[in-house]
Structure 1
């Protein structure tokens, strides 16, 4: 029953069936929902692209990426089937982004699991200590006609909506540089990014 779920800090099944994928407790789920609404309210002030978008907070994140690809294809007269998403992990935090990207969009709010991101080398590195999950910096995503990563060792990192890592929750794949280790190491380690983490309350509060 829904009442029992609420008392146990569990999102009621009836709500889950009508909302978005999440593994959060009810209290954290409600906070997450409020932040999603706040982002939508900020976006509808003038309907222009936010300086940085909390992509995990969108109800249809794949539609956002599709819109970026469609816009680039239309502007550059590309065939949509030839367009791909390219990512660049920056050194910025959301509050460091003062204007929206001229090409593509800045996004934030993803967690890296099974590896860590070295901001100095802008590359994947092995986890230090016991912290197997960490919050990623702001990521620039843009649509390109041809992925150009010549000469780089890259790991094709799956990005999921939750830590369940179900195929239906896959958002996109991110090509992440790996300077010191072969990409196969991260494949064997099951490295992935997720749009939420069960313990994400230990991280700094999101900035919309």
Structure 2
């Protein structure tokens, strides 16, 4: 396990130059770029970069706990140090294929058994490592263009010459085309950051914004393709997240959710009852689009429509399959993330009775 799990999300290289996203954003390079920008820049002013740094820091702390505890467990088995109660609990957890309590305290919410948990952790680390590399490369390229433009302005002081800030970056330079929502420690904080980012670009308060949702089903998908798609989604998380570009940069596309108690009809783009013996299945990609809150919400449920009209079901999204625990502060289950509004031919009361929900992970116990 110590060989499979890396020591950190990013590898710091001794080159004399910042080699990680955190180091480059805390260096004079970042300060120079930030001060050179006039107005809003979709890369330099993106709040998601700060959020990415925070997520990487959380994963790094978890990795330190994992590696230190494994090292101490090895030493205790060899008799070089005392076997403490904490180490004994870790050893017992391994025998029972559970995630040790010490790791759970520093980790994200998950109900996965140990083997699934470790595989999932490695996929998350790969996702954030790839994102960090993309962001680092985009910032470094911007800095090199800044230096080139600055040298050009010094050698040729022409007022019409291009300034370092004339060339704006595309949002797709340093960010995924799609976001694996279950990868985050705090997915709800990610969604809040997306609203904050959009609010900054439009000069709007985050309190004036909400999300509308568009399920991006491909009508061409057939039942014959479903099995291969599921395998591809599981084995190629990074490839799916970073394939193509999100040049529009309005909202985010998220994937990796599962639906429990119902299924999504790809052709009709509506929620429908599950197939026999099907409890949980993959859910398509969703476009979370920031929208200004209006007096009449576009997601409001149509409770009085005829059978030919569509209802809208406010589907809850949970981080784990465990939904019973309620937070005393919010009144919602502690792993409740948000709601997604889904079209359906049946009234919302039907889906509430069926306890339909979107999950970041399926029950693998």
When the two structures are superposed, what TM-score results if normalisation uses the length of structure 1? 0.89
Q: 2:269 pairs with 104, 109, 122, which one?
A: 122
Q: Aligned pair 1:159/2:159, yes or no?
A: no
- Spell out, residue by residue over 1:72-127, the C-alpha distance to the aligned partner (whole angstroms, 9 max, x if none): 11222222212112211111576496222621111111010011110111110011
Q: Which runs of 5+ in 2 are unaligned?
A: 1-88, 136-173, 219-228, 234-239, 303-309, 326-332
Aligned to 1:25: 113
Residues 115 and 101 (structure 1 numbering): CA distance in 2 closer, same or farther, change over 3 Å? farther
Q: Which has the larger radius of gyration?
A: 2
Q: Aligned pair 1:136/2:294, yes or no?
A: no
- Spell out, residue by residue over 1:141-196, the C-alpha distance to the aligned partner (whole angstroms, 9 max, x if none): 12111342476511111100000024111111101111x21111001111101100
Higher strand share: 1
Aligned to 2:192: 66
Aligned to 2:355: 190
Q: Aligned pair 1:10/2:95, yes or no?
A: no
Distance 1:49 1:81 in 2: 25
When the two structures are superposed, what TM-score results if normalisation uses the length of structure 2? 0.52
2:215–2:284 CA contact under 8 A, matched in 1: yes
Runs of 4+ in 1 over 3 A off after TM superposition: 92-97, 149-152
Partner-residue secondary structure (3-state), 2:352: helix
Q: Aligned pair 1:99/2:187, yes or no?
A: no
The RMSD of aligned alpha carbons is 1.9
Q: Which runs of 5+ in 1 are unaligned?
A: 201-208
1:117–1:136 CA contact under 8 A, matched in 2: yes
Partner-residue secondary structure (3-state), 2:334: helix
Distance 1:169 1:139 in 2: 20
Distance 2:350 2:204 in 1: 35
Q: 1:45 pairs with 108, 133, 139, which one?
A: 133
Distance 2:90 2:299 in 1: 50
1:68–1:142 CA contact under 8 A, matched in 2: no
- Spell out, residue by residue over 1:2-42, the C-alpha distance to the aligned partner (whole angstroms, 9 max, x if none): 10111211111111111011110000000010011000011
Q: Aligned pair 1:148/2:298, yes or no?
A: yes
Distance 1:86 1:195 in 2: 19
Distance 2:274 2:247 in 1: 31
Ranked by relative contact order (alpha carbons within 8 Å, sequence separation 6 or more), the top structure is: 1
- Spell out, residue by residue over 1:51-72, the C-alpha distance to the aligned partner (whole angstroms, 9 max, x if none): 1111101112112101110111
Distance 1:122 1:35 in 2: 30
The count of corresponding residues between Structure 1 and Structure 2 is: 199
2:212–2:291 CA contact under 8 A, matched in 1: yes
Aligned to 1:204: none
1:114–1:191 CA contact under 8 A, matched in 2: yes
